[in-house]
Structure 1
């Protein structure tokens, strides 16, 4: 199931993945600055941590996309997504 989802989302991950990861990184850094300037609660830090973790995971997925496809491939059958 995850393999077919990755194959289906190939154009989106390859084209939009790195820019979205960069935007999440910038957003996370901006939220850290906001949390430092306005230390009223924990929400700013949690949002910054969530953005930075999401950026790291998306960058990892984009960088090693072929490895993920190799590891998650179906065993025992040949799945060709092309018609």
Structure 2
């Protein structure tokens, strides 16, 4: 099921994935700056951590997308994604 979901999302991950990861990284860094300068509350730090974690995971997915497809493929059949 995860394999089919990744194959379905291939055009979205290939085109929008790196840009979204970069925007999440910028948002995380901005939230850290906001938490340091303006509001030292816990929610700002949690939001910054969530943005940075999601940016890292999305960047990892975009970088090693074909490896994930290879590892999650159905066994017994050969799947070669067509570009």
TM over 0.5: yes
Q: Please list every run of 5 or more consecutive structure 1 residues that lacks an aligned counterpart in the other structure.
A: none
- Give the 4+ runs in structure 1 shifted more than 6 A: none
Q: What TM-score, normalized to structure 2?
A: 0.91
1:6 equivalent in structure 2: 6
Are 2:29 and 1:29 equivalent residues in the alignment?
A: yes
Q: Give TM-score scaled by structure 1 length.
A: 0.91
When the two structures are aligned, how many residues end up with a matched partner?
82
* In structure 1, C-alpha distance between the alignment counterparts of 2:81 and 2:65, rounded to whole Å: 16
Deviations 1:9-50 (A, max 9, x none): 000000000000000000000000000012441000000000
How many angstroms does 1:79 deviate by? 5.4
